[in-house]
A and B are shown apart, each in its own frame.
Chain A
């Protein structure tokens, strides 16, 4: 009886010997990220290159880790940075404090801050953990800026803001799949999830052209 018990255990490990292994060979193989992945934040632009951030500080206000520092300033009349009156003059996130809860993304009224799929970055100095607009703001064509990684999959950069879109109905069943977010430079209006029902309106018609 005892020998049978031991033999059964030995059998399990022997069977495992011939099974497909479960380890993901990162970085040689990269696990696909889910749409809602909470990666590093990016500051988005409208399709005409205008910044979406209006410096309202809602993100800083709701951040439970208090890692966001925003200062707004009036747009210069001759060369406005954002479509409204004001723009985010200073925008810093301290990634040593950030807990990636995504509340800033939900709070942002203009979808300026969203979460990308970037997660491979490091720093050797605490000061480097504070990312300013120079790193957070996307390029004019909508590509997130990053310090690069030999293993990074550039395709996955196209996936961004999934958490913002997933939370946009805010629990209202009537608004599931309705959209409500603006278009991004280089990508247009990104499709949302179908949710409980198929998207009622085509994404194009729900786009509000802020620019």
Chain B
């Protein structure tokens, strides 16, 4: 690695960061228009072409609002909480491989900010830190509804963090690596992991919805119950940070689900990839964005269709069903892999490198 490589990495990071901000803007528009269409409404269509600039207008409004701290709030924590929510959201995205790397001359350009060999652990780590944003926001606001929201957040996150980890373990066992790019590589050779691991795939996505506090698991905000939950007392740019973090998290969850279960940037051939399909890096990026986009649509689709769960029902669902099922799956997968390695089972769905 010399300075040119560092420069390349920096450029990639800046491009991804800018793209995420742009995608968030688009996603908010997409959600509002999509939700409206699914509710036989029209949605925002006045600001800019097709209302595309509506989010920009909203952002300008939020940015120009007064920045305040409520009297009863803990001033320091109140200020830190939004940052604590937003930063991990961005950091979690660094491990997502958006496409296959490519060469310019003899320089390798990865389409991923950081290809960590512990990529999945990094994701879990960041999503654990991010929840402190909401918890501290609710606690520091010095108000009762945010406090209830914070309590809900801590309980909800602990349970669904566990589900999420358990849903990832089969993938890791199957791929034999913690690196996200390694997992995508593994899927390009044989099959997408959604095929053998459909149950963890669903579990991961559902717990992802819960982690991002999206309906029907939006108990932390739960407008009709807790006004705006943990972020009731926030306004202006601080509110915008939470908002941005939420949408970044949605993108992260969709992108990671794509990476772990839907073959990442691999083309749509489930069993083995046709040689040359994924060689062109932009082609890989296209498939990645398409799959992520479909998952984003599912986020919105689920949101408009389902009523919200109750707090205790969410816990029951998480602890009694999701965790139980996933523990069983982890055991089963371990058993199958062990049998394969012992030669007791054909290596039909064999993990690579084994």
Partners in one complex: yes
Which residues of A approach B to under 8 Å, CB–CB?
6, 9-10, 12-14, 16-17, 19-23, 25
Tell me whether A9 and B41 are in contact (CB under 8 A): no
The interface size bin for chain B is 10 to 19
**Do the beta carbons of B40 and A16 come within 8 Å of each other?**
yes
A13 touching B42, Cβ below 8 Å: no
A25 to chain B, nearest CB (A): 7
How far apart are the CA atoms of A12 and B306 in the complex, in Å? 11
**For the complex, what is the distance from the CA of A124 to the CA of B305, rounded to whole Å?**
42
Cα–Cα distance between A6 and B307 once the two chains are bound (Å): 10
Q: From DSSP, what is the main secondary structure of chain A's interface residues?
A: helix
A10 pairs with B40, CB closer than 8 A: no
Contact flags (1/0) for B37-61 with A, using CB distance below 8 Å? Answer: 1111110000000000000000000
Q: Is B12 at the interface (CB under 8 A from chain A)?
A: no
Q: A6-B306, A9-B306 in contact; A22/B40 too (CB < 8 A)?
A: yes
Tell yes or no: B304 within 8 A of A by CB: yes
B304 / chain A contacts, CB cutoff of 8 Å: 13
Other contacts beyond A10-B305, A16-B37: 9, CB < 8 A = A9-B305, A10-B301, A12-B305, A13-B304, A20-B40, A21-B37, A21-B40, A23-B41, A23-B42
Scan residues 60-75 of chain B and give those whose CB is less than 8 A from a CB of chain A.
none
B42 smallest CB distance to A (angstroms): 4
- Interface check B302, CB cutoff 8 A: yes
CB-CB under 8 A for A17 and B38, given A9-B306, A12-B305: yes
Q: Please tell me if the beta carbons of B41 and A13 are within 8 angstroms of each other in the complex.
A: no
Q: Which of A12, A19, A22, A23 has the most CB of B within 10 A?
A: A23
A17 proximity list for chain B (CB < 8 A): 34, 37-38
Q: A14: shortest Cβ distance to chain B, in Å?
A: 7
Nearest-neighbour CB distance to chain A for B46, whole angstroms, equals: 9
Instruction: Kindly list the 9 A-B residue pairs having the minimum CB-CB distance in the complex, ordered from nearest.
Output: A13-B38, A23-B42, A9-B305, A13-B305, A10-B305, A16-B38, A21-B42, A22-B40, A16-B40
Q: What chain A residues lie within 8 Å of B38 (beta carbons)?
A: 13-14, 16-17
